[in-house]
Amino acid sequence: MKIKALHEEKGRLIEELNTLQTSINAEQRSMTDTEKTRFNEIDARLDSIGSEVEVLEKLQKRAAEKIASAPVYGAASTSDKNERNEMANKYSFKRAVEMAATGRREGIEFEMHQEAAAEFQRAGVSVAAHSVLLPSDVFKRDMTATGGSPAGVEGGYNIQTNVGGIIDVLLPATVLNGLGVTRFDNLTGNLDLPQASTQPAAGWNTENGTATEKSPAFGKVSFSPKRLAAFIQVSNQLLRQSSNSIDAYVRQYLINAMAQELEKAAIKGGGTNEPTGIIGNSNVNVIFAGGAASNSTNANGAAVVWADVVNAMKAVENSNAMGQAYLTNPLVKAALQTTARQASGVEGNFILQSGAGELNGYPLAVTTNVPSNLSKGTSSTLSGMIFGDFSKLAIASWGGMELTVDPFSGATAGLTNMVLNSYMDVNLLQPKAFAVCKDIVA
C-alpha cells in the first residue's frame, strides 16, 4: 500500500536525522554545508510525505464511507417499496416468456424490464439485447429463504386442480441467510473493501529513545460479478396453461436452482468459474477430525469427537473472532447424536442431545449443501463441519436477472428453452473468523 510505503520512508528519514544530530552533538561542531543541504532535503521531504499521507487517508476514509453507504436493496422509502412490491406481485412470468418469444413490449413486464435494464446499466453488466430483464424485486424475497404455501412450494395453492400440481424433488435446506450473512445488493461496478492486515502495535522504550514506527498494512477483499445461470426446458403445452401454473412451476424451479447453487458456492465453492466459499478458502482455520493435532495424524479422516467441536471454537477465538454458529450436514449431525462426549462417561451423554438445536451452546444449522464427498488419503466420502461468525461471509449481487427464451431449438419436441442469468459473487471478509473440519468420517 502507498500509505505504508510513505510511513516506512518517513521512518528512515527520521532515523537519518537522528543519526546526523547524534554525530554533530558527539563531535561538538557545527553542521557542514553538505549536512545542511541534506537536512533541508529531508525536512522538505517530510513535509511532502505528511501532505501525501493526509490526502491518501482522506481518500481511503471517503472510499470506506462510500462503501458503507452503497445502495443496498431495502433503502428505498416505504411508499416506493410498497409500489415495487405491488408490481412484483402482479408480474407474470408467463407473459414475460411470451414477451421474449414474440418481441411484444407492453404491460408491467415491460415496465420492469426497463427498470431492470437501468439496474444492469448502473451495475456495469452487459446483457443480450434480445433478453427479457427482471429486476431484483421479482426474485429477491424468494431467493432469501425456502418455504411458502404449502411448505417448500411457493405458489402451490394457485395451481388449478384440473392442471395438476408438480410434485417437486426434495431439496437441501437453505440456511445461510438465517445465519446472518452479509449482503451487498444492487452493486455498481466491482467492489473493493480495504482490509487492515496487521494489528495495532506499540513498543516500550527509554525516556528519550526514538519510538519505532509500527505502520499498519492494508489489503483488500474484492467482489466482481460472476454469472450464475439456471436452465430449464418447458413444454409448450404447459406454456399455454394458466398463468398461475406456469408462474408457480417455472419461477419456483429457477428460484430453487439459483438459491441452491449460490449456497453450495458460499459453503465450499472454488470450482470452475465459481467464487470461493468457506471450505474452499485457504486462509480459514483448519482443524482435524478425531481430535488430531495435525493433518497427518489420521491419514484417511476420523470419526467426530467432542474435542473437534471445542477445537473449532478455540481456533476461531484464538484468532480474536467470536463464532456465532456451527454448520454441518445430516451425516455429521447423526454422528454427533450417537457419539458420547467421553468413552467412560454416563450413558446417553452424547455430543448432541436428541432434538437439540444447539451445539456447545451455539446454534446448529444442518443442510446437505455441506459436502459429504471431501477427500483425504484414500477416503473420498468425508464430511465437513464449520464454526464461525457468518456475518463475515458476504454475498454480492449486481442488478436483477436476465431471461433468455429460445422457442426454436426444441421446437420439434414441443419444448421452449429458458436460461435465467444472475450476476453474483461470494467472499470472506475475515477468513480467520471461521474454523473448518474437512475430514470427518460419518
pLDDT of the residue at 213: 67
**Cβ atoms < 10 Å from Cβ of 167:** 6
pLDDT of the residue at 432: 96
Check: CB of residue 261 under 8 Å from CB of residue 424: no
pLDDT of the residue at 195: 79
Check: CB of residue 297 under 8 Å from CB of residue 290: yes
pLDDT of the residue at 366: 96
pLDDT of the residue at 334: 95
Grouping H, G, I as helix, E, B as strand and the rest as coil, residue 302 is strand
**Long-range pairs for 347-354 at CB < 8 Å and ≥24 separation?**
351/304, 351/305, 351/306, 351/309
pLDDT of the residue at 60: 58
Cα-Cα-Cα-Cα torsion 280, 281, 282, 284, nearest 10 degrees, comes to -120
Mean pLDDT in order along the chain per 10 residues (442 residues): 68 82 82 86 84 69 50 47 65 77 78 82 75 70 42 40 59 89 88 79 76 72 91 80 64 83 94 93 96 92 96 97 96 94 74 87 95 96 97 91 86 87 93 97 96
Q: What angle do CA 255, 259, 261 make, to 5 degrees?
A: 120
Tell me whether residue 55 is exposed, middle or buried, using C-beta atoms within 10 angstroms of its C-beta: 0 to 12, 13 to 18, 19 or more: exposed
Question: pLDDT for 335-366, tens place per residue?
Answer: 999 998 887 656 668 999 887 789 999 999 99
Backbone angles phi, psi at 349, to 5 degrees: -80, 65
pLDDT of the residue at 87: 66
Place of cell 510513505: 6
